[in-house]
């Protein structure tokens, strides 16, 4: 299937259940196709879980949801080996992480130990239980949500851990039209009832491969590096973006270019994605403006290399 | 945040040190430019005062900026005013508080300065009013520069400011401005340009191209102006500035004549039509009193021999005709009226005019500006026989003044006079002999500069002696020499000052219209013949024509300033004051004012058109390179859009810029998108767009921009293209369309 058509079909499918949030849908798809993980930080009830579920349904992937609680154990995530009385041997019971799309609701409610079990799985894309390594499904994307307003009794993700997420988005409230439409249309029926998958897992896997093959010109490579390097020297930032951030920025940009039907990355892709890929990794100076503003300023100030940039 | 806004912010965040640096550089540039005014003002201490005022004002600006006050310019003007008051009218201040007297005194000085500017020729003495004007001007310049420095696009404004200050003395004095001064000031400007540039080195280099082109054009223009157009001051005066005074009130016209003649630039003094058979000399003053050092005007209070109609009363045999001459003053300010001699009646004058000495007109409270008047004058035509018969008694009491010689007269004057007039038996023949000797036979050369260079300028007896030896001088020397030589022979003589006949410039009411310019300022000799009156003679070579009377039946020339028919006037005018003793050509005076005005206008048009021309050339060049790369086309699109006021930032992505451009009304979106594809693929994709070169798309987008733009925007885009100022961020007022959105 043509990449662009498939991408549009998936996005259109998601929009059937989430009104008026095309940016969030696209960001989710970008992260999904770039094999990254998505962190959604927002208040409850704006459609974080619906978004993740809609994505999963649209591509006929397996979707599992973990509600993080303080008493959740690492083995609940990774799985556990249990002794099978009948076979007289240990049998691996896979945890919630064995799915294409894993929704981690309110990840900040779990203990740090449980959190890090998930984060390790995200990074390694495999789980080791009792000395045996189990490879996770492909594609594999964790969509974690955090509620930033109710912080009592929670363990907020340390900044360093957030680096594992490719992008962080906020859903934001829908505007009044979208909310009206939701009230009218969604109350009577389960929104997921009519949602059919528009792409197979194989389609998705070939799309991921195609996104990896998108061309990144030396000019755009320089541009991405210049932006992340600027965050490391900016006077308003205490912690800049990691090299992993640069890598993920370019990777996400490739996926976005592919979704838009291009076989090359534009600086505009970097511009569009930097505000969701970078801010959650940065720590502002005390008293400085918000991290989002700083990133916007850096994007605005960094010139786009034009013409011939020699590959270095 | 938008890209353009961000770069704006960066400029605003420039450190205080940079601003101080710019201020100091501009201060040095102004101090250097001040030196250019040495050709306009004489003396030394004026520039110290000026620098003091400018420095105080600049310091005020800097301190106010450092403190962070708003309203810097108005406060700085107050400070400058206080500084001026403290320096020029200190007595009127109470402490540092100005009183009513302060303003009145400053007002008096200002109006005195105005008079000086109107009446005096550069260079003027560094009188208090003049220093006040230049000091206050430079103070204001400092304030303007300070205001400009607060703006992002200041460099071009400051450049213009410097250029105008640089060109001012040259325009006033007509001297060619100093090349070194220009180079140094231009270099300082580039320093400012460099320091003002928002985004550092690369962009500053880009700006240097247009900057250098502009600077070169400005230099060429300011050097070429005084050379190409000696009439700059004439054009300037015709724009409403009062014309320069030629003969100031109560000042000896003889003394000013040389200075006026040596002045650069020709102004049209007056035009006239006449019924006289030959174009008349126009007299403004008569000088009868020779002190030995100089000639002084006569007054009506003195006894004088009869002249004009009165002299002819007892001599009915002499043929006399009355003719009218209509004169229109163009650019001449004097209280003495140019009239043909001998005049009988003047009509059409405005204001109060009185009869002056020697059949002239003077005014005590009016001047010649804007006057058009008709003069009736006599055309006295005695025959040669009649005039040879006349012997004027040297002891006539009424001619005492006109025959008087100083106690000591160098012998060479009388010796030469006697030698030249040897064989002449009557007064008329002697006079003609003296005239011919000076004019033709004696080997004299016309030069306005030789007497000054050799240190014998003036008209005293010693000067005349020196002139007779050196044989080089101008009308003052020739007329003065002839008059004094005549007196040594006992012939009554005096000097007339006014305008030589000038040249024909057209036909009006069936008569030739003549034009007399500032180059036609002249002095000639008058000799008295009893029963005829005063008769003008022309001893100056190649001006006018020699006086001679003929026998009846032979076509005669007029009696006043007769002109030999074989001496066409046009040819005579060509030679006027061009040749000095060394044979070098000094100034070009054959140009007529309309032509000069045309040249000046064309030059101005060229200056105004330089930005459009540069812009056009750049577009052509980019189109010519479009075949090999899309970059010139995209640059051209960015520049054109910027010319039309589309916001721009050097950090724009092509898509971001195209998005913003697309929000304008009437844009050809399809062509724009094709062009965008082309540049994006060229820059960022594996393979560029192959087919075509994109010029048609660019033309389509530019056309759509043109169509949708307002008339004002179009003119602005053509005459003052913003893109010539370099690739700096341009953010007009008002909200911008977002450059990029997610999704």
Nearest CA in chain A to B655: A268
Q: For residue A296, list chain B residues with Cβ-Cβ distance below 8 A.
A: 1
User: What pLDDT is recorded for position B410?
Assistant: 87
Give the three-state DSSP class for B99.
Answer: coil
Non-local (6+) Cβ contacts of B560 within 8 A are B280, B281, B340, B341, B342, B379, B380, B535, B536
- A179 and A232 assigned to the same domain: no
- B302 and B209 assigned to the same domain: no
- A77 and A163 assigned to the same domain: yes
- A129 and A261 assigned to the same domain: no
Q: For residue B653, list chain A residues with Cβ-Cβ distance below 8 A.
A: 266-268, 271, 304
A308 is a domain residue: no
On the question of pLDDT at B85 being above 60, the answer is: yes
The CA distance from A303 to the nearest CA of chain B, in Å, is: 4
The CA distance from A25 to the nearest CA of chain B, in Å, is: 9
Confidence tier at B226 by pLDDT (50, 70, 90): very low
Q: For residue A268, list chain B residues with Cβ-Cβ distance below 8 A.
A: 653, 655-656, 740
The CA distance from A178 to the nearest CA of chain B, in Å, is: 18
Nearest CA in chain B to A303: B651
Mean local confidence (pLDDT), B651-679: 88
* B146 vs A227, higher pLDDT: A227
CB contact under 8 A, A264 and B7: no
- B217 and B359 assigned to the same domain: no
A275 is a domain residue: yes
CATH label of the domain that carries residue A7: 3.40.50.300
User: What pLDDT is recorded for position B38?
Assistant: 79
Q: How would you class A256 by CB atoms within 10 Å of its CB: exposed for 0-12, middle for 13-18, buried for 19 or more?
A: buried
Kindly report, residue by residue over B411-425, the tens digit of the pLDDT: 888 888 888 888 888
The rounded percent of chain A whose pLDDT value lies above 90 is 28
- B412 and B506 assigned to the same domain: yes
- B446 and B545 assigned to the same domain: yes
CB contact under 8 A, B3 and A300: yes
Query: CA A268, CA B680: separation in Å to the nearest integer?
Result: 10
Domain count, chain A: 2
Q: For residue B2, list chain A residues with Cβ-Cβ distance below 8 A.
A: 300
Query: CA A310, CA A217: separation in Å to the nearest integer?
Result: 10
On the question of pLDDT at B733 being above 60, the answer is: no
- B545 and B607 assigned to the same domain: no
Lowest mean pLDDT among B44-53, B311-320, B595-604, B621-630: B595-604
A209 is a domain residue: no
The CA distance from B669 to the nearest CA of chain A, in Å, is: 19
B347 is a domain residue: yes
On whether the CB atoms of residues B165 and B182 are closer than 8 A, the answer is no
Mean local confidence (pLDDT), A285-311: 79
A49 is a domain residue: yes
Q: What is the extent of the structural domain holding B677?
A: 596-725
Interface of B with A (CB under 8 A): 1-3, 5-7, 10, 199, 631, 649-653, 655-656, 680-681, 683-686, 739-743
Q: What is the mean pLDDT of chain A?
A: 86
* A180 vs A246, higher pLDDT: A246
A77 is a domain residue: yes
Strands B472-473 and B445-446: parallel
* B558 vs B154, higher pLDDT: B154
Helix (H) or strand (E) holding B189: helix B179-196
Domain count, chain B: 3
B349 is a domain residue: yes
* A121 vs A159, higher pLDDT: A121
Confidence tier at B234 by pLDDT (50, 70, 90): very low
Q: Which of B2, B3, B685 sits opposite A215 (nearest CB)?
A: B685
CB contact under 8 A, B683 and A271: no
B397 is a domain residue: yes
CB contact under 8 A, A301 and B5: no
Among residues B730, B711, B727, which one has the least CA distance to residue B719?
B711
Residue found by looking up tokens 């009646």 in the block:
B345
Among residues B542, B740, B72, B346, which one has the least CA distance to residue A256?
B740
User: What pLDDT is recorded for position A46?
Assistant: 80
Q: Which of B1, B652, B686 sits opposite A297 (nearest CB)?
A: B1
- B333 and B288 assigned to the same domain: yes
B239 is a domain residue: no
User: What pLDDT is recorded for position B576?
Assistant: 38
- B609 and B707 assigned to the same domain: yes
Query: CA A162, CA A169: separation in Å to the nearest integer?
Result: 12
Terminal alpha carbon distance of chain A = 35
Query: CA B243, CA B241: separation in Å to the nearest integer?
Result: 6
Please list the residues that pair with B521 across neighbouring strands.
Answer: B499
Residue of A304, A305, A309, A310 best to disrupt the B interface, most CBs of B under 10 A:
A304
Q: How would you class B492 by CB atoms within 10 Å of its CB: exposed for 0-12, middle for 13-18, buried for 19 or more?
A: buried
CB contact under 8 A, A266 and B680: yes
CB contact under 8 A, B686 and A219: no
A253 is a domain residue: yes
On the question of pLDDT at A216 being above 90, the answer is: yes
Helix (H) or strand (E) holding B109: helix B100-119
Kindly report, residue by residue over B257-305, the tens digit of the pLDDT: 766 666 666 777 888 988 888 888 888 888 888 888 778 777 766 778 8
The CA distance from B71 to the nearest CA of chain A, in Å, is: 30
Q: For residue A279, list chain B residues with Cβ-Cβ distance below 8 A.
A: none
Query: CA B75, CA B60: separation in Å to the nearest integer?
Result: 8
> Which of B228, B261, B276 represents a domain boundary (last residue)?
B228
On the question of pLDDT at B138 being above 50, the answer is: yes
On whether the CB atoms of residues B518 and B498 are closer than 8 A, the answer is no
The CA distance from A187 to the nearest CA of chain B, in Å, is: 28
CATH label of the domain that carries residue B443: 3.10.620.30
Instruction: Dump the DSSP string for B425-492.
Output: -SHHHHHHHHHHIIIIIT--EE-SSHHHHHT--S-SHHHHHHHHHH-EE-HHHHHHHHHHHHHHTT--
User: What pLDDT is recorded for position A257?
Assistant: 94
A311 is a domain residue: no
Query: CA B536, CA B526: separation in Å to the nearest integer?
Result: 4
The CA distance from A18 to the nearest CA of chain B, in Å, is: 15
CB contact under 8 A, B685 and A304: no
> Which of A176, A203, A230 represents a domain boundary (last residue)?
A203
- A115 and A236 assigned to the same domain: no
Confidence tier at B730 by pLDDT (50, 70, 90): low
Query: CA B44, CA B67: separation in Å to the nearest integer?
Result: 36
Mapping DSSP onto H, E and C, the string for A243-277 reads: HHHHHHHHHHHHHHHHHCCCCECCHHHHHHHHHHH
Q: Which of B5, B10, B653 sits opposite A304 (nearest CB)?
A: B653
B735 is a domain residue: no
CB contact under 8 A, A266 and B653: yes
> Which of B551, B581, B611 represents a domain boundary (last residue)?
B581
- A105 and A252 assigned to the same domain: no
ipTM of the complex: 0.83
CB contact under 8 A, B686 and A266: no
Among residues B66, B67, B61, which one has the least CA distance to residue B83?
B61
* B395 vs B611, higher pLDDT: B611
Instruction: Dump the DSSP string for chain A.
Output: --HHHHHHHHHHHHHHHSTT-HHHHHHHHHHHHTT--EEEE--TTSSHHHHHHHHHHHTT--EEEEE--TT--HHHHHEEEEEETTTTEEEEEE-TT-SSEEEEETGGGS-HHHHHHHHHHHHHSEEEETTEEEEPPSS-EEEEEE-SS--TT--PPPHHHHTTSSEEE---PPPHHHHHHHHHHHTTS-TTTT----S-HHHHHHHHHHHHT-B--HHHHHHHHHHHHHHHH-TTEEE---HHHHHHHHHHHHHHHHHTT-SB--HHHHHHHHHHHSGGG-EEPTTPPPHHHHHHHHHHHSPPP-S-----
CA B91 vs CA B50, B101, B133, B139, B353: distances in Å = 20, 9, 19, 22, 42
- A230 and A165 assigned to the same domain: no
Q: For residue B649, list chain A residues with Cβ-Cβ distance below 8 A.
A: 300
Mean local confidence (pLDDT), B358-372: 79
User: What pLDDT is recorded for position B584?
Assistant: 37
On the question of pLDDT at A98 being above 60, the answer is: yes
Query: CA B684, CA A99: separation in Å to the nearest integer?
Result: 37
Residue of A8, A278, A303, A309 best to disrupt the B interface, most CBs of B under 10 A:
A303
- B612 and B575 assigned to the same domain: no
Q: Which of A264, A268, A273 sits opposite B686 (nearest CB)?
A: A264
- A220 and A103 assigned to the same domain: no
Mean local confidence (pLDDT), B559-568: 38
Among residues B477, B465, B405, B411, which one has the least CA distance to residue B439?
B477
On the question of pLDDT at A214 being above 90, the answer is: yes
Query: CA B692, CA B355: separation in Å to the nearest integer?
Result: 86
Kindly report, residue by residue over B398-454, the tens digit of the pLDDT: 787 888 888 888 888 888 888 888 888 888 888 989 898 988 888 888 887 777 777
- A254 and A135 assigned to the same domain: no
State which of A219-228, B46-55, B318-327, B399-408 shows the largest mean pLDDT.
A219-228
Confidence tier at A89 by pLDDT (50, 70, 90): confident
CB contact under 8 A, B742 and A262: no
Mean local confidence (pLDDT), B333-353: 84
> Which of A152, A173, A203 represents a domain boundary (last residue)?
A203
Query: CA B4, CA B649: separation in Å to the nearest integer?
Result: 4
Q: Which of B683, B684, B743 sits opposite A22 (nearest CB)?
A: B743
Residue of B200, B203, B684, B685 best to disrupt the A interface, most CBs of A under 10 A:
B684
Nearest CA in chain A to B650: A303
Nearest CA in chain A to B7: A301
Query: CA A67, CA A289: separation in Å to the nearest integer?
Result: 34
Mean local confidence (pLDDT), A237-242: 89
On the question of pLDDT at A265 being above 90, the answer is: yes
- B217 and B302 assigned to the same domain: no
DSSP code of B258? H
CB contact under 8 A, B743 and A301: no
User: What pLDDT is recorded for position A42?
Assistant: 81
- A168 and A47 assigned to the same domain: yes
Nearest CA in chain B to A277: B742
Kindly report, residue by residue over B509-532, the tens digit of the pLDDT: 778 888 888 778 888 999 988 888
Q: For residue B742, list chain A residues with Cβ-Cβ distance below 8 A.
A: 23, 26-27, 272-273, 275-276
The CA distance from B187 to the nearest CA of chain A, in Å, is: 29
On the question of pLDDT at B341 being above 80, the answer is: yes
User: What pLDDT is recorded for position A209?
Assistant: 93
Confidence tier at A251 by pLDDT (50, 70, 90): very high
Interface A-B: count of C-beta contacts within 8 A: 76
On the question of pLDDT at A106 being above 50, the answer is: yes
- A179 and A253 assigned to the same domain: no
Helix (H) or strand (E) holding B58: helix B45-67
* B739 vs B470, higher pLDDT: B470
Among residues A65, A124, A56, which one has the least CA distance to residue A95?
A65
Q: Which of B5, B651, B681 sits opposite A304 (nearest CB)?
A: B651
Among residues B696, B575, B681, B693, which one has the least CA distance to residue B628?
B693
On the question of pLDDT at B489 being above 70, the answer is: yes
Kindly report, residue by residue over A266-296, the tens digit of the pLDDT: 999 999 999 999 998 888 888 878 889 999 9
CB contact under 8 A, B656 and A271: yes
Q: What is the mean pLDDT of chain B?
A: 75
A286 is a domain residue: yes
On the question of pLDDT at B633 being above 50, the answer is: yes
- A26 and A163 assigned to the same domain: yes
* A150 vs A118, higher pLDDT: A118
The CA distance from B641 to the nearest CA of chain A, in Å, is: 18
CB contact under 8 A, B653 and A271: yes
CB contact under 8 A, B685 and A262: yes
Q: Which of A264, A267, A303 sits opposite B650 (nearest CB)?
A: A303
Q: What is the extent of the structural domain holding A143?
A: 3-185+199-203
CATH label of the domain that carries residue A280: 1.10.8.80
- A296 and A148 assigned to the same domain: no
Query: CA B217, CA B160: separation in Å to the nearest integer?
Result: 12
Report the 10 Å Cβ neighbour count for A182: 17
User: What pLDDT is recorded for position B258?
Assistant: 67
On whether the CB atoms of residues B307 and B283 are closer than 8 A, the answer is no
Query: CA A14, CA A53: separation in Å to the nearest integer?
Result: 9
């Amino acid at each position: 299937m043509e990449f662009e058509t498939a991408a549009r079909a998936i996005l259109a499918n998601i929009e059937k259940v989430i009104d008026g949030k095309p940016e969030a849908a696209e960001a989710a798809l970008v992260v999904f196709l770039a094999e990254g993980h998505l962190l959604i930080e927002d208040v409850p009830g704006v459609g974080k879980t619906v978004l993740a579920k809609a994505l999963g349904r649209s591509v006929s992937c397996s979707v599992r949801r973990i509600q993080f609680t303080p008493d959740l154990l690492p083995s609940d995530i990774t799985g556990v080996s249990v002794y099978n009385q009948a076979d007289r041997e240990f049998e691996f019971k896979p945890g919630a992480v064995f799915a294409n799309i894993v929704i981690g609701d309110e990840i900040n409610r779990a203990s740090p130990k449980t959190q890090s079990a998930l984060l390790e799985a995200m990074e390694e894309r495999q789980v080791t239980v009792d000395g045996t390594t189990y490879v996770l499904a492909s594609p594999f994307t964790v969509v974690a949500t955090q509620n930033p307003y109710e912080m009592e009794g929670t363990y907020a993700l340390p900044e360093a851990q957030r680096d594992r997420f490719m992008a962080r988005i906020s859903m934001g409230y829908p505007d009044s039209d979208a909310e009206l439409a939701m009230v009218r249309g969604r109350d009577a029926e389960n929104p997921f009832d009519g949602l059919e998958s528009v792409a197979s897992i194989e389609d998705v896997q070939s799309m991921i491969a195609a996104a990896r093959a998108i061309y990144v010109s030396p000019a755009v490579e320089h541009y991405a590096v210049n932006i992340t390097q600027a965050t490391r020297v900016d006077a308003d930032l205490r912690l800049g973006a990691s090299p992993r951030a640069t890598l993920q920025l370019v990777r996400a940009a490739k996926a976005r270019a592919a979704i838009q039907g291009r076989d090359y990355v534009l600086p505009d892709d970097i511009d569009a994605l930097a505000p969701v890929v970078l801010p959650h990794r940065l720590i502002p100076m005390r008293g400085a403006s918000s991290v989002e503003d700083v990133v916007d300023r850096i994007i605005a100030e960094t010139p786009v290399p034009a013409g011939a940039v020699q590959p270095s | 945040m938008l890209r353009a806004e961000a770069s704006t912010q960066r400029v605003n965040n420039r450190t205080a040190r940079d601003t101080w640096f710019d201020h100091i550089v501009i201060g040095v540039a102004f101090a250097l430019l001040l030196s250019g005014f040495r050709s306009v003002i004489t003396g030394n201490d004026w520039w110290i005062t000026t620098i003091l005022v400018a420095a105080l004002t600049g310091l005020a600006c800097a301190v106010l900026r450092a403190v962070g006050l708003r309203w810097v310019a108005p406060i700085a003007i107050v400070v400058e005013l206080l500084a001026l008051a403290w320096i020029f009218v200190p007595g009127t201040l109470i402490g540092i508080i100005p009183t009513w007297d302060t303003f009145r005194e400053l007002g008096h000085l200002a109006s005195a300065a105005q008079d000086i500017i109107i009446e005096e020729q550069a260079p003027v003495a560094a009188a208090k009013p003049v220093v006040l004007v230049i000091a206050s001007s430079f103070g204001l310049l400092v304030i303007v520069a300070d205001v400009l420095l607060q703006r992002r696009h200041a460099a071009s404004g400051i450049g213009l400011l410097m250029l105008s200050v640089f060109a001012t003395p040259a325009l006033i004095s007509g001297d060619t401005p100093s090349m070194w001064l220009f180079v140094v000031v231009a270099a300082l400007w580039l320093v400012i340009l460099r320091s003002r540039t928002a985004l550092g080195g690369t962009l500053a280099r880009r700006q240097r191209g247009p900057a250098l082109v502009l600077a070169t054009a400005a230099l060429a223009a300011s050097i070429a102006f005084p050379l190409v157009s000696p009439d700059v001051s004439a054009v300037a005066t015709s724009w409403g500035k009062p014309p320069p005074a030629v003969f100031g009130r109560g000042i000896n016209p003889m003394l000013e004549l040389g200075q006026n003649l040596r002045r650069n630039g020709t102004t049209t003094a007056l035009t006239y039509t006449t019924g006289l058979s030959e174009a008349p000399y126009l007299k403004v003053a008569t000088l009868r009193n020779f002190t030995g050092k100089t000639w002084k005007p006569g007054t009506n209070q003195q006894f004088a021999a009869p002249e004009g109609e009165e002299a002819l009363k007892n001599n009915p045999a002499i043929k006399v005709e009355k003719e009218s001459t209509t004169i229109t003053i163009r650019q001449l300010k004097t209280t003495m009226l140019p009239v043909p001699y001998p005049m009988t009646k003047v009509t059409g004058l405005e204001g109060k005019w009185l009869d002056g000495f020697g059949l002239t007109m003077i005014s005590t409270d009016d001047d010649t500006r804007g006057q058009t008047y008709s003069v009736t004058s006599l055309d006295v035509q005695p025959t040669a026989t009649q005039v040879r018969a006349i012997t004027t008694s040297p002891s006539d009491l009424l001619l005492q003044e006109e025959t008087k010689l100083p106690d000591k007269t160098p012998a060479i004057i009388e010796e030469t006079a006697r030698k030249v007039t040897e064989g002449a038996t009557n007064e008329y023949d002697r006079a003609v002999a003296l005239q011919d000797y000076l004019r033709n036979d004696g080997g004299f050369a016309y030069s306005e500069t030789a007497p000054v260079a050799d240190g014998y300028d003036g008209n005293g007896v010693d000067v005349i002696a020196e002139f007779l030896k050196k044989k080089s001088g101008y009308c003052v020397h020739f007329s003065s020499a002839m008059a004094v030589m005549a007196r040594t022979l006992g012939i009554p003589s005096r000097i007339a000052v006014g305008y030589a006949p000038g040249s024909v410039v057209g036909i009006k009411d069936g008569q030739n219209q003549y034009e007399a310019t500032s180059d036609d300022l002249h002095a000639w000799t008058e000799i008295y013949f009893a029963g005829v009156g005063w008769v003008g003679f022309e001893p100056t070579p190649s001006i006018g024509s020699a006086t001679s009377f003929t026998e009846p039946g032979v076509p005669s020339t007029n009696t006043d300033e007769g002109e030999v028919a074989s001496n066409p006037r046009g040819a005579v005018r060509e030679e006027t004051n061009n040749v000095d003793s060394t044979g070098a050509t000094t100034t070009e005076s054959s140009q007529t004012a309309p032509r000069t005005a045309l040249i000046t206008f064309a030059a101005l048009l060229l200056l105004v058109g330089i930005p459009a021309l540069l812009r056009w050339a750049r577009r052509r060049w980019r189109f010519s390179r479009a075949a090999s790369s899309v970059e010139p086309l995209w640059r051209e699109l960015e520049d054109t859009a910027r010319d039309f006021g589309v916001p721009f930032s050097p950090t724009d992505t092509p898509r971001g810029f195209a998005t913003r451009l697309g929000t304008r009304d009437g844009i050809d979106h399809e062509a724009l998108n094709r062009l965008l594809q082309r540049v994006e693929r060229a820059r960022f994709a594996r393979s560029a767009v192959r087919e075509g070169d994109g010029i048609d798309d660019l033309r389509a987008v530019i056309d759509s921009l043109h169509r949708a733009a307002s008339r004002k925007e179009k003119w602005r885009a053509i005459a003052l293209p913003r893109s010539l100022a370099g690739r700096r961020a341009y953010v007009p007022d008002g909200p911008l369309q977002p450059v990029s959105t997610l999704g």
